[in-house]
Each structure stands twice: as structure tokens, then as C-alpha cells.
Chains A and B, each alone.
Chain A
Amino acid sequence: MNPVVYKACRDFDYDGTRVLDILREVQSGLGCISGETMEMLAKELSTHRVEIEGLVSFYSFFSEKPKGKIAIRLCDDIIDRFAGVSKVAKVFSDELGIEMGKTSPDGIFSLEYTPCIGMSDQAPSALINQTVVTKLTPQSARTIARKLKKNPETSELLTRKGDGNNACLQINAMVKNNIRVRGEVLLCEGIPAEAGLKKALKRKEDAVIQEIRASGLRGRGGAGFSTGLKWDLARRETARERYVICNADEGEPGTFKDRVLLTERTDLMFEGMTIAARAIGSRKGILYVRAEYTYLLPYLEHVLKKRRKRGLLGRNIAGKKGFAFDIRIQLGAGAYICGEESSLISSCEGLRGEPKNRPPFPAEKGFLGYPTIVNNVETFCCAARILDGGAPWFAGIGTDESAGTKLLSVAGDCARPGIYEVPFGIEVSEVLDMAGADDPAIVQIGGASGDMIGRTAFHKKICYEDLPTGGSFMTFNSTRNVLGIVDYFLEFFIHESCGYCTPCRVGNVFLRERIQKIKSGLAEEADLHYLIELSNTIMMTSRCGLGHTSPRPVLSSIAHFPIVYASLTRELTDGRQASFDIQKALEESRRIAKRQSMIYDPIYGESTD
């Protein structure tokens, strides 16, 4: 029995729902989870090897083949690509003598790309094991590589400290918050500590939910569902247990506002979760944090510990007799789909992060079958503030249907990327001005699953009535290629689709093929119709939100950049597809058969062509 496997299983009490944590420990202890290890784990956990293998192959932070002792993961987000991550990659590759995607023969280094790590405001960036390095240049990459070669430890990589809590002992990262605009709800200074919780404890559960409903708070994770309604639904279910889950998976490319809230409004978030627990009658909560934010884990644990000490978690919270609640942290393992609430629940249960069928909705049957509310980090922070400031105050900010402020993660071609807390209803152009985007041509709002708009739509308002967003706001200048960006998003979705349903697993591949055809100038107008039709099919027939939204960059770019598409498509005069190249299609065959074509090689046959 391998001691690492043994210890990992014991650390988590052989609990089947904690397999993810067990695997993480094994992966970091052994550098991989080999077939043999899977066999061992399956035996220890009284399950089948295929179950373990299913997890290892699903989550990108687990691997069957050995990863280096120092795993370098370069952020491959579109923002990082434009910021020159490929040059940085080349330096790492040259200095360490390994190709992208490979592990060095001595097993010390591995080098690979990973989807957005939530640092788009300080791109290009990378994760070196759990350490975040930001604003990389070829020079700084060279320095890092040489340092690592001399001493393969990540502790010496911190050449500068980040701001705010990033500099504290438990985080100690070079990450910057980049808070540019502080609004009156979340990022303002002097928020009274635990004021919302104290007020919530003085009121009946119903009244707390009523307050949230009256405030008009809608989920900040993207879908914009009424938070009060969700809580109410969970509360009304008859059940022995109820769960409160905070979604800090933040996988949407270009989004990083939860990172800043986790760093700077940690207590407020936990306060919001506690209020939710009180409102729905829950005793247990889970904070699901994406694996890329592992560097925040010690700090989050530290804050939880402090809260327990201060009587804000545990039994008789804040002196309220009979009110018990505690929170555990679940780390993800690198899968965008785990941000989707039912996948997230699967992941917390120790399963592959695959979405569940709905109904039943999580509020009815969620974690382990118990009523569960899943809310975004920002939603919980808002809830805490609403209980303190009151529903009318909150509802007075923003627009009719979109109450309050929104944190925008602004990144891309602008002078001041970072976090902007703005009231809902702000125009895109105002945000661009604030961020110092001097030549904005394309704005992708709401991340990869959001909409792409051009200059003619910069007057649109950011709110659920007009342009909704979970927080991502990427701006691109006029030198950027619209289709290149769409192509990137499709690549992302193809990678992140869980593969359960065909429209999403296959449809996104077809969308990408067609986009590439258009990009290469070999398409005709019918290809656009094909794209639109296929997009609608994917959105209508997919099982979860990923497939419901993945074609949006395609559809919105066709709608907003008609001239780009028109200039790249042409009329077929002879009915032949320009993209089909018979000579290329025959190359292999000629080589193998050692003869020429009777039809397409004029020297041999009389070409009827």
C-alpha cells in the first residue's frame, strides 16, 4: 500500500463524497494518478476503478501520466494570447528544454496551457504549482525559468507583493486587486462588520427572505435568477437537511471579480452565506473554490477559523440560541462546467462534474438530494449588505429590473483593466471611457457565453433588460480579428463541454469548423445560414447552460459584424466548394499507391475536369 494513498484516504475518512480531495492529495504527493494507484484507491474506497478513472480523466488538474514536480500552467485566455503569452511560452520552453504539454525527462518540470486562470487584468499570467505569477514578459519568464532550474521551489518566485490582502501572510501573492471604481454596495470603505447578520438574527426567517425579495436582488453568477425566490423555494421544501453553497468557481473567461471579493470581502461573503443559512434553515455550507485559486485557500481557512472563534460560525451563532451553521471549502480541479450549479453539486458529491437533469432543481433536490441553494460570491455579499442597508436602499440603485451595483471585470485593450463597481444601467461606452480604452472596436460582454458587440451598440446598457453579464467585460481594439476571437471561444467550449449530450459535444466542433472556413475566406453565404441554424439547434437541444449559451458569440458576432462576415464570404459560381481541395485530399493516396490520379493529374489521364 502506498503511504500517500493511505494517508489521503485516511485524511478524508474514506468518505466517498470527498474523493476529489483525496485525488488532489494523491496527485500532489505522487505527481500523477496512475492505473495502479487508481486500482489501490478503488479498493480502499470500496468502489470500482472505472469510477476513479472517470474522475481522473474528467478533471484537468488530475493526470494519469506524471506531471512535473513544478507544473507550469500558462493562462491561454484570449486576453493573454493578445498580451503575448506565446512569446512567454517559447521562453519557458527554450529555457527548460521541454515542449508545451510535456514533462521534462527528470520529472522536475511540466509545461502546459490552461484555460483562463482569472488574472486577465494582469495578463499574461501563469500558475506555477499554486503560485500565481502575473504580468509576464519574455524577460521575466527567463528569470523565473533560470531561478527554477537552480532551485525548483516556488517560494522564491515572489519578486513583488500584491496589494490589499494579497500581501498578507496567508496569501502572500503578487496578485493585484486592481480595484478601479468602488461603488456604494460592495467595495466602498467602512462596511460595518456583521451588521447584516445581526439584523437578520433579530428577524424571523420569512422576514429575511422577504427583505431579499423586496430588494430585487438577482443572481450575480450570470443567469440572474431572483435570489429571494430561490431561497424561498429551498425553505419551503420539507427536508432533514438543507445546504448553502457558494459558487466561487469563476471559470467564465475574462472574469476575476470573485477573486477580488474572496480576497477583500471574505467576511462579507461568509456573512451572506450565514444569513442564507438562517433564512432557509441550513446547518451546513460549502464554499466551492476553483483549483486555480488554491493560493487563496490558507487565507480562506484562516478567516473561517477566526469566525468560528468569534462565534460567527458553529453553534449558537452570534448568541442566537439554536442557530448552528458551519462552512467547509471544496476545491475544484480545473473544469469550467463545474461552475454550472448542478455540475458543481455533482463535483461536491465527489462525482464527475456533469450537470444533472432538471427538474428537480437544486432548491428542491440538490447536494446529496437535500434542498440546496447555490449562489455566486457576489450574490452572497450583496445579500449581507441588503440586510444591513435595507431593501429600499438597494432597490433604489440600478434599473427597474436590475437592482444594485455590479462588479465588472474589465480586461483587454484598455489602459486601466480591473474591477469596476458600477450601478446597473451603465452604458458600455461609459465603462470603456473609465477603463481608458482608446480604440475600442469589439466588446465581449458576459464572457465566452456572452454577446459580442461592436461600436454601433456601445450605447447599450449593462443590465438584465439589455445586456446581461456575470461580470466579464473584455474589450478589443480595431486591430483584433472578430473571427479569431469567436474561434477562440468555440475552442474553449469544445474543450470544456462535458460531452454528455451530442448537440453540445459535436455541435460546437461543427460551429468551429465553419467559423474557420469563413476565416480562411473559402465560405459562401449559405455557411452563415448553416451557422445560425446549427446555433439555434444547439441552444434548443442541449442539456445545460453551457450548450444553451456556447453559440452566442457566433450569433452575436454575425448580428453585430455583418460587414466582416460579408467581406469574407463569396458566391460560388460553379457550385464547387472553394474549401475542398482535391489535390490535398489525394496527396496521401498518391504516396501510398505510388501512382498518379487518372482523373485529377492531367499528365496521366485526359482530364475531363
Chain B
Amino acid sequence: MKKKIATVSLAGCFGCHMSLLDIDERILDLLKVAEFDKTPLNDLKKFTTRCDIGLVEGGCCNEENVHTLQEFRKNCDVLVAVGACAIMGGLPVMRNAIMNAVDPLRECLEEAYMNSSSVYNSTNDIPNDPALPLILDKVYNCSEVVKIDYQIPGCPPSGDTLWQTLNALIRGVPADLPYELIRYD
């Protein structure tokens, strides 16, 4: 039986997914032992079956992120937080620094859509389409929302690191991650 893998990018930049593609032609070897279910790589929007491995990029900055992450937890046996954003919030978490302001969320939105020097917004509207998910009071990392089994640090983790990780998970052995793959200086 091939292992089933799902992946998603929440509040991330897709860099971790790009890095996953850096396994290059090894993806053919991967597909011999595994297949992808819900993932942006094949544009499958819903889980079609229970998965063995879920890779999550990015933390949670809005309700949709939370919902997706909860779905992943429900549908995956092993959930891996991939990259700095999933593990610690990464760049998006910088907005948590204004948490102590009087009205932090409003300040954040106004800075992003009105006040920041690089913004051109002639109507001064803050996007509020009903189709837009509501943003959360602050950015949460994945393990604050659901139980996470493994964390692969890096911004992004290299293709080799992800390759070793997936291999180990698929074969059910401890990951061989030599120092070069997990140093970040």
C-alpha cells in the first residue's frame, strides 16, 4: 500500500512547498512509495481519504487557517509542522508585537491597508468582503491550535531535509538528519 500524503500552506509564503519541489527528480522515487491526496501540488481541495502524513506550512492568522488545520489533524495520522511559520509563527507573527495596543487588530489593519508608507489606497477601505475569512486576534503557531507530532525547522527547510524526513516517515524509521541539514547560520 502506498502511503498517502497531504500538504497545505496556511499563513506561509509557499516557500516550504517550493523547497519540497527541490527534491527534483527524486519525486519519481517518492511516487513509487507514496501518493498525494489533498495538496496544492495537485490542486485537490478536499480530503478524499484518510492520510498517513500531513505536512503543514505556515501558522494560523485567520479562521480558515484554523479550520484547515483542524481538518488536517482529523484526517492525518502524523502531522508535521514544516518551517518557521508553522512552528513559531514566522514573519506573520510579528503582528503579535502590537498585541498590547488599545485596539490591536484595528491598528494592524489600518497599518496594512491605510497608513503604511508603501500603501496606495485612495478609498481608505479595509477589505471586508463576506467571502474573506475573519482574521484572528493574533497569529497562532500550529501547535497552539492542534497537537503536532513533528517539527521540521528552517526557513524553508531544504529539499534534502524534507526528503530525509518523508523517507523516514514513510519507512517508519528515525530520520537521518545530519548537522548540515539542520543548521541555520
Contacts and interface: CB of A to CB of B under 8 A. Distances in A.
B147 A526 contact: yes
Contact of B63 (A579, A594, A599): A599
Interface string A551-575: 0000000000000000000001011
Interface string B23-67: 000000000000000000000000000000000000000011011
Contacts, number: 72
A592 B134 CA distance: 10
Given A574-B74, A592-B105, A582 B63 contact: yes
B112 to A, nearest CB: 13
Given A585-B137, A597-B134, A575 B63 contact: no
Nearest to B79: A575
A577 B145 contact: yes
B94 interface: no
Nearest to A524: B147
Contacts of A579: 144
Interface in B116-169: 128, 130, 133-138, 140, 143-147
B73 interface: yes
Contacts of A600: 63, 67
A580 B134 contact: no
A577 B143 contact: yes
A604 B105 CA distance: 23
B115 interface: no
B67 A593 contact: no
Contact of A589 (B73, B79, B134): B134
A593 B137 CA distance: 12
Nearest to B76: A575
A608 B147 CA distance: 20
B68 to A, nearest CB: 10
Nearest to B142: A577
B106 interface: yes
A500 B8 CA distance: 37
Interface residues of B, number: 26
A572 B130 CA distance: 33
A146 interface: no
A196 B112 CA distance: 71
Contact of A576 (B70, B109, B133): B70
A609 B143 contact: no
Q: Which of B63, B64, B146 has the most chain A CB within a 10 Å cutoff?
A: B63
Contacts of B145: 576-577, 580
A530 B143 CA distance: 11
Given A575-B74, A597-B63, A599-B67, A589 B144 contact: no
Contacts of B130: 595, 598
Contacts of B109: 592
A590 interface: yes
A550 B134 CA distance: 39
A584 interface: yes
Contacts of B79: 575
The majority secondary structure among interface residues of chain A is loop
Contacts of A594: 128
A66 to B, nearest CB: 23
Contacts of B64: 599
A50 interface: no
Give chain A's interface residue range (CB within 8 Å of chain B): 20 to 34
A576 B146 contact: yes
A586 interface: yes
A439 interface: no
A584 B66 contact: no
Nearest to B105: A588
A342 to B, nearest CB: 26
B10 to A, nearest CB: 14
B105 A585 contact: no
A599 B133 contact: yes
A587 interface: yes
Q: Which of A574, A579, A585, A608 has the most chain B CB within a 10 Å cutoff?
A: A585
A392 to B, nearest CB: 53
Contacts of B143: 577
A524 B145 CA distance: 13
Contact of B144 (A526, A575, A580, A592): A580
A592 B133 CA distance: 13
Interface string B82-112: 0000000000000000000000111001000
Contact of B135 (A524, A584, A589): A589
A590 B67 contact: no
Contacts of A582: 63, 66
Nearest to A604: B130
B147 A572 contact: yes
Contacts of A598: 63, 130, 133
Nearest to B134: A589
A589 B134 CA distance: 6
A15 to B, nearest CB: 39
Contacts of B74: 574-575
A572 B64 CA distance: 22
Q: Which of A575, A587, A595, A608 has the most chain B CB within a 10 Å cutoff?
A: A575
Q: Which of B67, B128, B134, B145 has the most chain A CB within a 10 Å cutoff?
A: B134
A378 B132 CA distance: 66
A574 B135 CA distance: 24
Nearest to A594: B128
A364 to B, nearest CB: 30
Contacts of B67: 599-600, 608-609
Contacts of B73: 574-576
Nearest to A585: B136
A597 B67 CA distance: 11
Given A580-B66, A590-B134, 13 more contacts: A572-B147, A574-B73, A575-B73, A576-B73, A579-B144, A585-B66, A587-B137, A589-B63, A589-B134, A595-B130, A597-B63, A599-B133, A609-B70
18 contacts: A526-B147, A575-B73, A575-B146, A575-B147, A576-B70, A576-B145, A576-B146, A577-B144, A577-B145, A585-B66, A586-B63, A588-B104, A589-B135, A594-B128, A595-B128, A595-B130, A595-B134, A598-B133
